[in-house]
Amino acid sequence: PDGCGGNDIAAEWRGRLASGRPLSEDEALKLLSDYGIETPRRHTVEGDQDLSDAARKMRFPVVLKTAMAGILHKSDVDGVALGLGDEATLSQAYADMSSRLGAMAIVAEMAPKGVELALGAVVDPQWGPLVVVSAGGTLMELLEDKAVALAPVSGEEAAELVGSLRIARLLDGYRGAPAANRGAVVDAVVRLGWLVADLGGAISELDVNPLIAGAQGCTAVDALVIAGASAGHGVPV
């Protein structure tokens, strides 16, 4: 049976993925949210009025990210501005970014600080849908710290995956840092497993980096989804 997304939601996303149009970052985050994985409050903007409207609805600080089609490595083109503390600062950042990269952007509330993890999913031709849990953020490539399992995964399996990571020590608090909610991380892994089990035939690969785990829970901050039709193209990291 379909996972926590439900039959209707799974069918809706299968149809969207079958369209061949790449998912925007906002859509990728919406997909995660539909499966119960927490994502930041955000708005897509295409001009100054949209930006002003979004600013009135959000809690600062915020992050501004380009949402122009075809830009996958946002940081490589200076397409991300973090920690914008008020509307004036946001407006200045948008004026600069839109002049260089285009008008389409996402404004999102900053996630609370925490341990940066990453989640992923890939459909292997031989094994089927797989879930990947790893160190996230800038540590992803540096540590090469990851665990893999067939989807879907049980709560016990997800806990073992998370616990097997070297970075798991940070989740329990390290050098005075507050402990993260490990249960929320395990829940996110289970939910991602349901997602890829439901939609594995329609998804080639999925990346969530970072997934920020804090004392109150965990939040998927950035997401990239490549539809099945793009199999073999790989996921940029």
Is the pLDDT at 173 greater than 80? The verdict is yes
What are the tens digits of pLDDT across the range 121-171? 988 888 889 999 998 876 555 557 899 999 999 999 999 999 999 989 999
- DSSP 8-state code for residue 180: P
Q: 10 Å Cβ neighbour count for 148? A: 14
According to the model, what pLDDT value does residue 123 have? Answer: 86
0.85 exceeded by the pTM?
yes
Cα angle 181, 185, 189 (rounded to 5 degrees) comes to 165
Q: What is the mean pLDDT of the chain?
A: 89
Cβ contacts of residue 89 below 8 Å, gap of 6+? none
Question: Mapping DSSP to helix (H, G, I), strand (E, B) and coil, where does residue 139 land?
Answer: helix
Report how far residue 161's alpha carbon sits from residue 99's, in angstroms, rounded to the nearest whole number: 44
